[in-house]
């Protein structure tokens, strides 16, 4: 006697036994009882959810010979008194119920020979001639067109039942002429209940936690779950343990998933390598393990967001354990973990060394715990601003902020944002503007070695130069600056300096004066990137940080009494900048943010 697999042996024999599709079976039963039968049906849904089984039950209900008319309760195949029609339909050998595999009969000639040519012939024995077309979406366009008119106006006593896993590929012209039923994936709890019934009937001893793993392996498909159950029975025999299920199906148990989550929470990258080694030694498929971990992260996120037990019926852990694990992370953490692991799962499809890919993927998850949320970094900025107002050093923190989605900054990532922070300094009050901060923390003890920040000032006409400059030394410095610029291949800056009326490097400041007609040269020199280059070159020449002062002066304009005042203001600004550079709080801010002072002013300035 040949062995009959569980999926076939335990195929539902009545509408009541179709698991998880109660709305559909109820509709069909009522249609049969009230004789409101349609001539064409489309059953769509995932694999193994009962489409073909329901089609056969409908065919049996229409043709059962024990009832004078269609009945919602046809004969069972295990009933010794079952009518010949029901037996033949169950065994797929009825001449009036034809099952056609559209995947192997895709052409228009197949449709003509199998359906159109015989649809006009009356049923040989039964009430209805039923055509069950499986995977109907595989038919060609010509075949659909040939079938269209027949489905729209079939002969009396003809019923079409079309099943498909890809509803969107069926032409709208076919769908509009049919009643459509969408079969759902089956809940894990209902699959578990069915498997428990089968285990009791087959005298298989298996605990509920092992049955749950088998039900989860079905992923909503009753047939897949029953096939997995068959596989486990072949592996372990009539006495099944949870470890047997994990070994036979290659699925990750709850203990492994918990180890991974705890390793992430406790930042133990070494645990990732140990977990992967354990998975490989157990014979699990790494891609399946990655999918199980993705499902577990989804369960943790659902627990964190809603805690609905209805949405967690397929979870591998109980609800209390899920709540404990979910409390270890924020929602953004779990979302980042999921996206990162999804990338790993995609790479595993084509990876030459899946183990290496999985190890790196898990270590990456554990390293993600070191990320600092954006809100924390903003709090640190606020603390620094407060310290500048009060003149007190902020409390040093040790957290760092690697780059990631939702977080800011690493040593490789520089923010271009600028912030104006007022403070009190030696010699007067001023406000400094720090540019290009890098959000990282350095030890305060290193501040004494920080060079003074460089400064630049861009002003309008009216500032005069010091008449007592040493022209020989000044000219020599300017020539060295030009040579350095030539070495950097910045000839347009050399041209701009040569077009200046006068240029000098003195007292830590490069002073460049242009005539009004050379304003375009001033504009070139005054660009922020060019000023940066000039400051760097001046630092090489003078061995100190230098400001850049660029003016346009019209010598034909009458002398203004305000000239000396502007000169005094410039010297005052130089004094304030020097005071700022020597202030420890400002030094710490510049060191922390890798900033530069680009302007200095008194806080009472408008």
SS3 598: strand
d(CA 417, CA 59): 72
Q: Which of 251, 169, 237 has the alpha carbon at shortest distance from 199? A: 237
SS3 9: helix
DSSP single-letter state for residue 157: T
Q: Classify strands 502-506 and 419-425 as parallel, antiparallel or unpaired.
A: unpaired
Say what angle helices 471-487 and 528-542 make with each other, to 10 degrees. Answer: 120
d(CA 564, CA 467): 13
HEC letters along 315-345: CCCCHHHHHHHHCCCCHHHHHHHHHHHHHHH
d(CA 444, CA 544): 23
Q: Average pLDDT for consecutive 10-residue bins of the chain (606 residues)?
A: 83 90 94 92 93 94 90 86 89 90 89 88 89 94 91 90 94 94 90 92 89 86 92 90 83 81 86 86 83 88 80 72 87 89 90 90 82 68 75 55 38 35 38 37 36 40 43 72 85 82 81 83 82 85 81 67 60 73 74 67 58
Q: Classify strands 419-425 and 428-434 as parallel, antiparallel or unpaired.
A: antiparallel
Instruction: Give the pLDDT confidence score for residue 398 in this predicted structure.
Output: 46
Instruction: Give the pLDDT confidence score for residue 521 in this predicted structure.
Output: 81
- If residue 433 lies in a helix (H) or strand (E), which one and from where to where? strand 428-434
Contact 130, 100 (CB under 8 A): no
d(CA 21, CA 42): 15
d(CA 31, CA 428): 92
Q: Classify strands 547-552 and 597-601 as parallel, antiparallel or unpaired.
A: unpaired
**What's the sign of the alpha-carbon dihedral 183, 189, 195, 198?**
negative
Instruction: Give the pLDDT confidence score for residue 272 in this predicted structure.
Output: 82
| DSSP H helical ranges for 250-399 | 254-265, 269-281, 286-305, 319-326, 331-348, 354-367, 374-390
User: Would you list the domain boundaries of the chain?
Assistant: 6-183, 188-249, 254-370, 374-449, 457-581
Give domain 6-183's CATH number out of 3.40.50.300, 3.40.1280.10, 3.40.50.20, 3.60.21.10. Answer: 3.40.50.300
Give domain 457-581's CATH number out of 3.40.50.80, 3.30.230.70, 3.30.300.180, 2.102.10.10. Answer: 3.30.300.180
Contact 569, 409 (CB under 8 A): no
d(CA 519, CA 513): 10
Instruction: Give the pLDDT confidence score for residue 409 in this predicted structure.
Output: 38
Q: Classify strands 179-183 and 509-514 as parallel, antiparallel or unpaired.
A: unpaired
**What's the sign of the alpha-carbon dihedral 63, 65, 67, 73?**
negative
Instruction: Give the pLDDT confidence score for residue 514 in this predicted structure.
Output: 85
Say what angle helices 471-487 and 491-498 make with each other, to 10 degrees. Answer: 160
DSSP string, 54-89: HHHHHHHHHH-TTSSS--SS---TT-TT--HHHHHH
| DSSP H helical ranges for 157-285 | 172-175, 188-201, 208-217, 222-236, 242-249, 254-265, 269-281
- Please give the class, per CATH, of domain 254-370: mainly alpha
**What's the sign of the alpha-carbon dihedral 568, 472, 500, 454?**
negative
DSSP string, 496-549: HHHTSSEEEEETTEEEEEE-GGGHHHHHHHTSHHHHHHHHHHHHHHHSS--EEE
User: What's the CATH number for 188-249?
Assistant: 1.10.8.60
d(CA 251, CA 279): 9
């Amino acid at each position: 006697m040949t062995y009959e697999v569980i999926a076939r042996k335990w195929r539902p024999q009545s509408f009541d036994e179709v698991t998880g599709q109660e709305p559909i079976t109820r509709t069909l039963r009522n249609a049969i009882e009230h004789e409101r039968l349609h001539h064409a049906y489309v059953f769509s849904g995932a694999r193994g959810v009962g489409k073909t089984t329901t089609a056969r039950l409908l065919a049996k209900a229409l043709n059962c010979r024990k009832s004078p008319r269609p009945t919602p309760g046809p004969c069972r195949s295990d009933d010794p008194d079952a009518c010949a029609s029901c037996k033949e339909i169950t065994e797929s050998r009825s001449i009036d119920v034809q099952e056609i595999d559209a995947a192997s009969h895709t052409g228009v000639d197949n449709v003509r020979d199998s359906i159109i040519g015989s649809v006009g012939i009356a049923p040989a024995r039964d009430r209805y001639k039923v055509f069950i077309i499986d995977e109907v979406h595989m038919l060609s366009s010509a075949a659909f067109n040939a079938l269209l008119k027949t489905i729209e106006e079939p002969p009396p006593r003809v019923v079409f039942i079309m099943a498909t896993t890809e509803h969107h590929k069926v032409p709208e012209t076919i769908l509009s002429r049919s009643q459509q039923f969408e079969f759902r994936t089956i809940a894990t709890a209902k699959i578990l209940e069915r498997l428990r019934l089968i285990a009791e009937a087959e005298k298989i001893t298996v605990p509920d936690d092992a049955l749950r793993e088998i039900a989860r392996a079905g992923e909503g498909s009753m047939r897949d779950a029953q096939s997995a159950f068959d596989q486990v029975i072949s592996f372990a025999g009539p006495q099944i343990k949870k470890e047997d299920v994990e070994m036979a199906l290659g699925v990750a148990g709850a203990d492994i998933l918990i180890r991974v989550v705890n390793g992430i929470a406790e930042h133990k990258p070494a645990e990732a390598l140990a977990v992967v080694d354990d998975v490989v030694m157990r014979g699990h498929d790494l891609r399946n393990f990655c999918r199980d971990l993705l499902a577990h992260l989804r369960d943790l996120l659902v627990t964190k967001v809603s805690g609905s037990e209805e949405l967690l019926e397929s979870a591998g852990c109980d609800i209390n354990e899920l709540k404990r694990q979910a409390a270890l992370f924020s929602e953004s953490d779990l979302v980042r973990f999921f996206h990162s692991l999804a990338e790993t799962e995609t790479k595993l499809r084509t990876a030459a060394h899946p183990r290496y890919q999985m190890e790196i993927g898990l270590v990456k998850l554990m390293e993600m715990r070191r990320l600092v949320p954006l809100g924390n970094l903003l709090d640190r900025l606020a603390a620094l601003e407060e310290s500048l107002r009060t003149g007190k050093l902020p409390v040093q923190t040790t957290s760092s902020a690697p780059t990631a989605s939702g977080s800011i900054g690493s040593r490789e990532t520089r923010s271009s944002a600028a912030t104006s922070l007022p403070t009190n300094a030696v010699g007067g009050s001023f406000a400094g503007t720090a540019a290009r901060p890098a959000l990282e923390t350095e030890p305060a003890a290193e501040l004494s070695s920080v060079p003074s920040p460089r400064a630049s000032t861009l002003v309008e006409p009216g500032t005069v130069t010091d008449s007592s400059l040493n022209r020989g030394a000044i000219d020599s410095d300017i020539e060295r600056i030009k040579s350095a610029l030539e070495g950097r291949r910045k000839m347009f800056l050399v041209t701009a300096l040569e077009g200046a009326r006068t240029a000098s490097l003195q007292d830590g400041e490069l002073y460049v004066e242009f005539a009004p007609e050379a304003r375009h040269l001033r504009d070139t020199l005054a660009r922020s990137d060019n000023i940066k280059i000039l400051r760097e070159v001046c630092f090489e020449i003078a061995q100190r940080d230098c400001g850049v002062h660029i003016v346009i002066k019209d010598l034909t304009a009458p002398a203004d009494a305000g000239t000396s005042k502007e000169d005094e203001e410039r010297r005052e600004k130089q004094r304030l900048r020097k005071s700022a550079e020597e202030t420890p709080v400002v030094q710490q801010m510049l060191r922390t943010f890798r900033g530069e002072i680009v302007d200095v002013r008194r806080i009472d300035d408008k």
